[in-house]
Amino acid sequence: MTRILILGAGAMGTAFSFPAADAGHTVSLVGTHLDADWIRSVRETRVHPKLKVQLPATVTAYTHNQLGEALRMGADLIVLGVSSAGIPWAIEQLGAAMRDQAPVLLLTKGLEAREEGFQILPEKVRVGLAAAGVANVPVGAVAGPCIAGELAARRDSCVVIGFSDSTLTPGVVSLLATSYYHLFPNADLAGIEACAALKNFYAIAVGYAAGRLAQTGKAENGALMHNLAAAIFAQALVEISVLVHFMGGTEASVTGLAGAGDFYVTCQAGRNSRLGYLLGTGLRYREAKARHMANDTVEGAELALAIGPTLQRLFATGRLAPQTFPLAQAILAAVCDDLPTRIPWIVV
């Protein structure tokens, strides 16, 4: 029987255990040092506090200090479900405990800033593990519109998956496919990873429209602000497309599941949209975060803080045309500089 190890017992990491188990595999769910309460709940009740559904019988929960024990039982696939900020910790833990070159699959979304560009997280993990003495580990990623709660409820979800070594992808697809979890191979690893990270960043801007509506109220005839949200969504896709091409990705990833699909579902709910909503009501980023989201990791804001200086350098040197990125500049000003949020074509 195939063994799958998931490192990270948050909502998405735990939700991933459902298709993994339903596909007939034994699953080790290893929490991080921040997941102790969730692991305790799973052990005592078989229910994850956030997902509120009972985990499959073939899922066994481990604390972070039992990672070595879980790995010694074997792992044919290692899945990373930590936050982007937790990637260095995960590399350190796996580097110390791994004894073979089992493929690593990332659920985590993010980009690593470099002086003149960006590094996708699978490459960061591969290089980090090699530096820790575990060389030649194949690292891939999964992306697409997949809300954790829906996946745990076994709702139909469609995603793309890719590895730098594309010969591995079909095997992992067949390993994880179920009647409700539909995977499609995609060789454009740079593109799907860029889309997966940037949709969190731009969802902040789309969420702004709902906050602005809350601030101004419905029109006399009951009209809302769908026009504004749609315009922001469209402009965001234009900017994502330029950035994906800059990173070596393809247009097909932008218009497909990893891009437009994942961006759409991210805008429907979640922490990034909620932050945008708060900014739309007139709050500045630091106040919104401190008063309403102090304990939340907002991946889009974390990405803005991480890549903001690099983007500004690329604008200044002309490698990226700043006039092409009005939304990106608005988000950076709001998050990095704590300025009032101003969507460029709106006169407030």
Helix axes 271-280, 189-216, angle to 10 degrees: 40
- Please give the average per-residue pLDDT across 60-75, as a whole number: 94
pLDDT of residue 348 exceeding 70 = no
- The pLDDT value given to residue 281: 97
- Please give the average per-residue pLDDT across 292-321, as a whole number: 95
Chain length of the chain: 348
pLDDT of residue 347 exceeding 60 = no
Q: What pLDDT, in 10s, does the model give residues 30-52?
A: 999 999 999 999 999 999 999 99
263-279 b/e with 16+ CB inside 10 Å = b? bebbbeebbbbbbbbbb
- The pLDDT value given to residue 101: 80
Residues 193/120, Cβ–Cβ less than 8 Å? yes
- The pLDDT value given to residue 100: 79
Q: What pLDDT, in 10s, does the model give residues 325-343?
A: 999 999 999 999 999 999 9
Domains of the chain (ranges; CATH) run 3-187 (3.40.50.720), 197-335 (1.10.1040.10)
pLDDT of residue 1 exceeding 90 = no
Burial of residue 344 (number of CB atoms within 10 Å: 0-12, 13-18, 19+):
exposed
Residues 134/153, Cβ–Cβ less than 8 Å? no
- Please give the average per-residue pLDDT across 197-208, as a whole number: 97
- The pLDDT value given to residue 178: 97
- Please give the average per-residue pLDDT across 166-171, as a whole number: 92
Mean of the per-residue pLDDT values of the chain: 95
- The pLDDT value given to residue 339: 97
Per-residue pLDDT band at 313 (split at 50, 70, 90): very high
Rg (CA), the chain: 20
- The pLDDT value given to residue 39: 96
- Please give the average per-residue pLDDT across 279-304, as a whole number: 96
pTM beyond cutoff 0.85: yes
pLDDT of residue 345 exceeding 90 = no
C-alpha 17/C-alpha 9 separation (Å) is: 10
C-alpha 106/C-alpha 334 separation (Å) is: 29
In Å, how far are 116, 197, 198, 332 from 307, measured between CA atoms?
11, 11, 11, 9
